[in-house]
């Protein structure tokens, strides 16, 4: 037989042992006689055998595939987040000898994930979004699949890693209040996203820490379309609100467009803030005050946690990564009446 076609089955047949015995001898795991282990290892070395990923997986009862679950309903503004996150995950997985398989899910359809688990294509899973009613998370728990959630959840059984959205939003809002902001409006996305709730809590924390602040604040959640933003902005202008805080860059872009249409100057007549800092707004003039998170690092850390779990190591249940508040021109001075 040609050595380049050598398989575990070939080695087992040549030595008169089972494939399981060969796998155990190569992996160093499982009960096997020392003499047999030595005979298999000597044969492997003499024939320069290097197991492929499939053979290695059989030997260690692993597929060497990680499942990466992405939301099928993401919007174009969220794409940079998932791209950077995937980059960090892929690089970490590759360095450890793993490949990454993608599964797209929605709140009510997790077929791709179910198929990957049922067909035993993956060793563990990374979820890239957490929901208040989280079907993928529930499915993985019910089927005993190791996983790490990127995002936060109140389920203390879940290994989770997230940016400190609440702390970051509290700090940025606090800076606005300390800088003299007397009327603020928060515009947020879908309330079933845990990140939406954490950002809202951070916003509210800043006011609770300043009980003497006596200005006006308003909150608009579950805003998903530009038309909704247009109506909100129009109402805020009528009420003479001085600062609009947006939970993400999509909403911030809609706010800026609405203000530009009405010829409202930023920051001269209205301060504008985003609780995120993607490439979507990087060329906006003026530059937008925002919060920077290292998303690629988030992906690297998440993958590292999952790999530790798969190796049987203990890990922290909850990890929070840092952030950087970036005060820019959009809040450089207090707005004047428009």
Identify whether residues 125 and 176 lie together within a single domain.
no
Find the mean pLDDT for residues 26-40: 73
Identify whether residues 46 and 195 lie together within a single domain.
no
Q: Give 9-21 pLDDT, tens digit per residue.
A: 888 888 999 877 8
Identify whether 337 is part of a domain. no
Tell me how many degrees the CA angle 77-80-86 measures, rounded to the nearest 5: 135
Coil, strand or helix at 48: coil
Identify whether residues 277 and 170 lie together within a single domain.
yes
CA dihedral over 250, 255, 261, 263, signed as positive or negative: negative
- Give the closest residue to 274 by CA, choosing from 256, 259, 261: 256
Q: Give 65-99 pLDDT, tens digit per residue.
A: 999 999 987 777 788 889 999 999 999 999 999 99
For the whole model, what pTM was predicted?
Answer: 0.78
Identify whether residues 13 and 86 lie together within a single domain.
no
pLDDT, position 9: 80
Identify whether 338 is part of a domain. no
Identify whether residues 146 and 235 lie together within a single domain.
no
Torsion of Cα atoms, 80 then 83 then 85 then 88, to 10°: -130
Provide the percentage of residues in the chain whose pLDDT is more than 90.
71
Query: In terms of pLDDT, which residue wins out, 18 or 319?
Result: 319
User: How many CB atoms are closer than 10 A to CB 37?
Assistant: 17
Residue range(s) defining the domain that contains residue 26 = 3-60
Identify whether 239 is part of a domain. yes
Identify whether 178 is part of a domain. yes
Provide the percentage of residues in the chain whose pLDDT is more than 70.
92
Domain-ending residue, one of 60, 85, 107: 60
Identify whether residues 13 and 55 lie together within a single domain.
yes
Identify whether residues 169 and 276 lie together within a single domain.
yes
Query: In terms of pLDDT, which residue wins out, 61 or 224?
Result: 224
- Give the closest residue to 281 by CA, choosing from 329, 210, 336: 329
pLDDT band at 2 (very low <50, low <70, confident <90, very high): very low
Domain-ending residue, one of 42, 60, 78: 60
Identify whether residues 93 and 36 lie together within a single domain.
no
Identify whether residues 157 and 301 lie together within a single domain.
yes
Domain count, the chain: 3
Identify whether residues 173 and 246 lie together within a single domain.
yes
CATH number at residue 221: 3.40.50.2300
């Amino acid at each position: 037989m040609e050595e380049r076609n050598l398989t575990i089955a070939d080695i087992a047949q040549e030595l008169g042992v089972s494939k399981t015995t060969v796998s155990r001898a190569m992996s160093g795991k499982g009960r096997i006689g020392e003499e047999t282990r030595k005979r298999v290892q000597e044969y492997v070395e003499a024939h320069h055998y290097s197991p492929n990923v499939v053979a290695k997986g059989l030997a260690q009862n692993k597929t060497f595939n990680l499942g990466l679950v992405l939301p099928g309903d993401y919007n174009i503004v969220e794409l940079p987040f998932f791209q950077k996150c995937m980059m960090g995950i892929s690089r970490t997985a590759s360095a450890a000898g793993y490949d990454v398989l993608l599964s797209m899910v929605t709140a009510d359809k997790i077929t791709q994930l179910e198929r990957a688990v049922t067909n035993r294509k993956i060793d563990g899973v990374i979820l890239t979004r957490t929901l208040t009613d989280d079907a993928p998370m529930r499915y993985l728990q019910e089927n005993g699949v190791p996983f790490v959630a990127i995002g936060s959840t109140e389920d203390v059984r879940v290994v989770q890693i997230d940016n400190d959205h609440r702390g970051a939003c509290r700090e940025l809002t606090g800076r606005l209040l300390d800088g003299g902001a007397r009327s603020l409006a928060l515009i947020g996305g879908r309330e079933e996203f845990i990140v939406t709730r954490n950002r809202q809590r951070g916003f509210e924390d800043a006011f609770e820490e300043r009980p003497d602040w006596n200005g006006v604040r308003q909150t608009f959640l579950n805003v998903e379309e530009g038309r909704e933003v247009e109506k909100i902005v129009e109402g805020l202008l009528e009420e003479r609100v001085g600062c609009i805080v947006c939970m993400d860059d999509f909403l911030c872009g809609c706010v800026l467009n609405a203000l530009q249409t009405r010829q409202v100057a930023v920051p001269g007549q209205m301060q504008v803030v985003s609780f995120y800092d993607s490439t979507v707004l990087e060329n906006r003039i003026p530059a937008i005050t925002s919060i920077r998170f290292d998303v690629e690092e988030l992906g690297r850390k998440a993958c590292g946690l999952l790999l530790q779990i798969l190796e049987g190591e203990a890990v922290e249940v909850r990890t929070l990564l840092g952030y950087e508040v970036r005060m820019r021109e959009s809040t450089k001075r207090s707005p004047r009446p428009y």
